[in-house]
Amino acid sequence: MPLTLAELPPDIILEIVKYPRLEDVISLLRTCSTLYALTNNRIFWISVLKIARLYTSLACPMHADLSDPQYDAPALKGIAMHQLKRELNWSRPVIGITKQLVVVQLPMPFEIILIVQGTDILLVQLHDANADVVLWDVALGLPYPLPAVSTEGYIVLDTSSTCESQGVCTVALLTEKQFPPFTLGNLHLITIFHKERKAIRMECTRTRIPSEADDLQTLFLGRGIVGCSSLRPLVGADDRVLRCILCSPWTPLSLSDAAIFTMEFNMPLVEDDVLQCLSYEGHLYNMAETGEHVHLQHISRNSAKSGRSQRSDSWNCPISTSYDGSARLLPFSLMFSGTPFYGVAAVFIRSNQGLDLAPDLTPTLAVTFLPCPLTYAPDDGDASPLAFLPCDTAVFEVRPFLAHMRGLVWTDNSGLNVIVGVERPDAQFGLKLIRYHAEFTQSEKATSVHDLEVPTSVDAESLVGVALDETSGMVLLTTDSGELVQLCYV
């Protein structure tokens, strides 16, 4: 006779809970007495969270060792319940604020460069003559007592995705002169060492980017490889070539001189096409987003390390065009996820904002997610660790909010959640949260759009930036006077 769940021995239950999603396990806790008896069992929560972290970012660093003594049973249970509460709140059409708004005044205006996943660490650049890059403790509202990274007065032009391991987060920054002529500065490789949510050390190494990096497109960072991509026109043709400039190999504390090679897109490109380069596990992926398709070409890790531009796999991922065909949408923003691990490689945003709108043309915003499930192919340096699927697009009628002629947009580390500042129908400032649900099948709608409650005390005219920390459920707004406004939605 089959046994019920309540009749199974604990060691069998600990194996079973490795398979359901987190919310299903929590539901079983409330209905099964045997399972409920394990709520103070540390091994039980480690098993549950090890599976949950494969498909969503948790309130701990991505590579945190959950067997570390700092993660006792109450701490692990707290991470699980925080995740459950976030999903419950963020599934509502209108997501309300759960805690009182917090405003912290920094000594000067600044820009958030990076939120280190599952920690209290912000990497910010101060907007003064020195333009130093510093670490900020968002929980304490204080700077970390660590030496700043000097940019010699240059501002951050572009930021790569992060490369993370246990207790270590590395990001590449490219700087540009603040005033004309806008010449490129150094490529900075910044490594942040952290423990128990706090930064304990920051190191930086630099190199010069060769002059070939004109018309810069993006920075990329992956296992053992860092560099940038740029465009150059083909002589006597309208086509353009995507040139990748590599600085390889690298470690958290060293960076080699640049080795240059060129990878080409064999396709006609128009002015509105978005060209970028993504790196994951040392593999490179050229991509061109046209508004109708995303074309990708794979250069293996072995090819990239040897300086060859030999292409292997390629993909052509269609983009939904469910919006009104008369609405010509132009590129508004492109963002890479912190890591493609959770199933999203990049987010493309297009809008008709800034065009001469006809009276009968409704403002339209399209947010497109590029899905990239892991292939689990052998890690031989040749096979692609990612595959790419048809894109999922959320289209809604709204005008993006422009702050000093810049859009307020941010994608979280997982790439599953995007926040956009918008102008509401009543002309007031609003925030939209666009979510991608990787677990949905292609027959289901994989995106959802939500409104975030914004306190009336927020001065929209002073806003210059927005950031989203999905692990804490917090939205961060920055102002032109150096204020950091913290809005909690969990």
Structural domains of the chain, ranges and CATH numbers in brackets: 5-90 (no CATH), 94-488 (2.130.10.10)
The DSSP result for 386-432, as a single string, is: B-----EEEEE--EEPEETTEE-EEE-TTSSEEEEEEE-TTS-EEEE
- Mean model confidence pLDDT for the chain: 85
Taking 70 as the threshold, does the pLDDT of residue 212 lie above it? no
* 33 backbone dihedrals φ, ψ, rounded to 5°: -65, -40
Q: Decide: 414 and 56 in contact? Cβ < 8 Å.
A: yes
User: Is pLDDT above 80 for 416?
Assistant: yes
pTM, full prediction: 0.90
Over residues 440-447, the mean pLDDT reads 70
In the prediction, which pLDDT does 276 show? 82
CB 297 within 8 A of CB 286: yes
Mapped onto helix, strand or coil, the DSSP state of residue 14 is helix
Question: 3-class SS at 484?
Answer: strand
Please choose, from the candidates 426, 434, 413, the residue with its C-alpha nearest in 3D space to the C-alpha of residue 93.
Answer: 434
What average pLDDT score do residues 262-287 get? 75
Q: How confident is the model at residue 1 (pLDDT cuts 50, 70, 90)?
A: low
Quickly count: other Cβ atoms within 10 Å of residue 266's Cβ: 10
Over residues 81-130, the pLDDT tens digits come to 999 999 999 999 999 999 999 999 999 999 999 999 999 999 999 999 89
- Using the predicted structure, report yes or no on whether residue 141 has a pLDDT greater than 80: yes
More confident residue, 255 or 133: 133
- Based on DSSP, count helices (H) and strands (E) in the chain, helices before strands: 6, 35
Contacts of 54 (CB under 8 A, 6+ apart): none
